[in-house]
Each structure stands twice: as C-alpha cells, then as structure tokens.
Amino acid sequence: MNDLISEPIAALTQRSRSEMIESSITAASQSRSIYTRLYADGARAAARHADAMRAANIAPPSPLAGLPISIKDLLDVAGEATNAGSVVLKDAPPATHDAPVVQRLRAAGAAILGKTNMTEFAFSGLGLNPHYGTPANPVDKQTIRIPGGSSSGAAVSVAAGHCVAAIGSDTGGSIRIPAAMCGLVGFKSTARRVPTRGVVPLSTTLDTICALARSVDDCIAVDSVIADKALTVPHLPLKGLRLAVPQTLVLDNLDAYVASTFTAALTRLSAAGASIIDVPFQPLASFVHLNKFSGAEAFAWHRKLLADSEAQYDPRVSARIKMGGSLSAADYIDLQAARRAWIAQMEELLTPYDALIMPTIPIVAPRLADLEASDELYFAANYLVLRNPSSINFLDGCAVSLPCHAPGTLPVGLMVAGAAMQDAKILAVARAIESSLRS
C-alpha cells in the first residue's frame, strides 16, 4: 500500500495512524511552498493517542481521530502570529486562542499536520504567492500548473497525499476552485454554519470556513466536526432528481475541454435517470455588477496596514483591495439591499429543482509561468475562475465541486449548488452524482 494517502477516510480504518503521520510529516517536510508551518510533534501525539484508543477498544471521538488534517494559514493557532500568506503580519502579536474551528479539530482528535500556504490575504482565485512561493499542482507532472486559490496549499496537501482533508476558506470560490483544478471534492457550506472567529477576514459577509477532501463523505465527516451542528445527510437515488443547468452567464467562455467534459457528465447523469433541465436563471446576469460590497469590507480591514506597509503587499493584491475604498457608505447599503432582493428572486426560481449544476470553473488549471509573466492573463484568469463559484457565495448558498473528468486527463469540476441552509440536501445530491460519475 502506498505510504501516502490516496483513499477516503472510510478505507483507512485498519491503518496505523502513527505510520500515516510519519509518512505525511516526511513528505510535507520535503515539499516546497505547500506549508507555512508544520506541527510534527502535535500531529505525532494525536496519532499515538488514536492508536492507543483503538488498541484498547475505546471508541475514538470522531472519524478524524489521528488522521492528518491541514489548516489554512488564516486560522489562529494560540501562541503564533497568523500570517494569512503575507509578510505584512509576520511581526503581529501572537494569537491568544485557537480559532473555534481549530479547537473543534483538536477535540475530535485530528492530527493537525500544518498550516498551508495561500494567496496573500485570500485575495485571488489562482493561488499565486510571491512571498512564500506557489504550490505546484500535482496533477500534471510535465507542466507546472497553478493549484487554484486562495486555498492553494490546502488543496495540494490533499492532492499530494499528505492529508485526508484540509480546512480552507471560501469567499468567492476559494475552496471549490482549487478542488476543481486539483481533482478533489470541495464543499462550501452555508456561511453561518461554521464560526469565523479567529480567522483573518476577507469579507465578513461572505467568508466561509469549509473543507476539501477526496470524497463527499469525507467532506461530511469534516463538516460534522467544524460546524455548529452536524448534518444528517440522506442517501438519495440519482434517478428522478431534477437538476437545473443555468443558461445565463455560467456556460459562457468555457474552454473546449471543459465544455466537452461537462457535457459528457450531463449525458451520464441523464442516462442514469436524472432529469437535466436547461433553465434561464436570468438574475445571474446581474450578480457580477452587484457583488462589490465585499471589496469595501476588505478595504475597511486593510486600510491601516496599507497606509503603513503597502510596499510589502503583493501589488496584484493591494491594487484589488484598494478598489474597495471607492465605495461609499450609501453605495454599500444599497448593494446589501439589492443582494437581499436578488437572493429572494433566485430562491424562488430554485424551488422546483433539487439542485443547480454547472461547471465549477470554465478553464483548466493554467500554466504558472504564463500568469507570473502577465498581469493581463492573471486578471483575466482570476475573473473567469471566480465567476461561477462566487454566484453561490452571493446567494448565501451552499455548493459542492466534484471531479467529472476522465482518469488521466486534466481535472474539471462540476458544481452542485443550492440555497442557504440546504446543505444536507446538496450534499446528498452531490453524493448521488459522485457515485454515478465514479461508476
């Protein structure tokens, strides 16, 4: 059996947690740009404790007990500064407490392997980081491709086999984009379900703490630990599910490979008995123009840091944050009201369907060198990858990105989405789709 992890959590019941952790620590310590900090001693202790409980026939506190989990570099860990992928905060006061999500992982017995690299301050969907390097996407051995962001190191820590799952954040797609690019499952829960205290914010309205893993069931296992309330996710048959494919915006500018892969996935789902229904969903045409208040929220948090230390920021990040400073208070209030009206429209349109489905992102992972060399390509790609997933953040909804590509080809994500607090239903639909696509 491979020393690194390639199976879902349910397949790991007989493996020694301590042996897994040693393999993960060795691989992680030799990996470039994936982690900003490793917690080898703590991970070993958690694994030993889980093995001892199993040897004594004591039930573990959760399915995550003793298993390696990574956490994104914007979650507080007591006693250390939280850098959020930046050098600007390297001398910030250390956190006095673990973030609630970290506390819950420890209580569940998880072996926290390390903090993962990310786009600086989570302000891009691509994953590039000039301060700590950009983790290479492990799906392509010939070409260095981006991992997606902002939870870049989180995705690579799972795709490279170091961890069973990773905790990241998703404000406009930062879990689902790297999941799509790295061939993983990414779950964006309804934002209010998981506490964001002890997390460096991007948008206090849209920020969501959630998980990347290898399967829908693994995402459910992590969500059961980090959420305020564990979900009961039913087992649904795919046959008879009504799956709406929006015809507005989300299918625009798909590259040919993504388009053909998504179409092939729809054909398989239809053959398995799902009803695939093309629906206009016209409000999607306007959300891009309404989704501007998050920039103002980011600027409010960063304005003093920018005044004191702008030269230390990635210029591509600071330029986008400063754009949020142009929004007036009246504009902000108007946009929040417009968002509420937009959500009401969308929720009414969603009522007849079990879920929305769409390509998670319209392109495959671009070459890293191309985006490093060109601001024009960087910002064009950033807009494209954020477009579809950010519509679900704006909806205050929930979504799962599933791999839908053929084995041995570049990853493509299929997103399953729904309205706020429909998490259990959307996970159930995603699990049914996953089973069909993997069969």
Q: Which of 52, 102, 54 has its CA nearest to residue 78?
A: 102
Whether the upstream peptide bond of residue 62 has omega within 30° of 0, thus cis, is: no
Q: Are 201 and 300 in contact (CB under 8 A)?
A: no
In this prediction, residue 229 carries a pLDDT of: 87
User: Does residue 292 lie in a domain region?
Assistant: no
What is the CATH classification number for the domain harbouring 406? 3.90.1300.10
pLDDT tens-digit profile of 130-155?
999 999 999 999 999 999 999 999 99
In this prediction, residue 3 carries a pLDDT of: 66
Q: H-type helices in 310-420, by residue range?
A: 315-323, 329-350, 368-373, 375-394
Cα–Cα distance, 411 to 77 (Å, whole number): 33
Q: Is 72 a catalytic residue?
A: yes
Same domain, 262 and 132: no
168 has which bridge partners? 210
For residue 258, the tally of other CB atoms under 10 A from its CB is 23
User: Kind of pairing, strands 185-188 and 165-169?
Assistant: unpaired
Instruction: Specify the DSSP element, H or E, that contains 278.
Output: strand 275-279
Catalytic residue from among 18, 31, 124, 150: 150
In this prediction, residue 367 carries a pLDDT of: 98
User: Does residue 19 lie in a domain region?
Assistant: yes
In this prediction, residue 2 carries a pLDDT of: 44
In this prediction, residue 257 carries a pLDDT of: 98
User: Does residue 334 lie in a domain region?
Assistant: no
Same domain, 158 and 248: no
Same domain, 75 and 216: yes
Q: Are 415 and 389 in contact (CB under 8 A)?
A: yes
List the chain residues with pLDDT less than 50.
Answer: 1-2
Number of domains into which the chain is organized: 2
Query: DSSP 3-state assignment of 201?
Result: coil
Catalytic residue from among 72, 115, 188, 425: 72
Same domain, 69 and 127: yes
User: Does residue 320 lie in a domain region?
Assistant: no
Domain containing 279 equals 242-286+341-438
Cα–Cα distance, 73 to 134 (Å, whole number): 14
In this prediction, residue 1 carries a pLDDT of: 32
Catalytic residue from among 24, 33, 169, 174: 174
pLDDT tens-digit profile of 219-249?
999 999 999 888 999 999 999 999 999 999 9
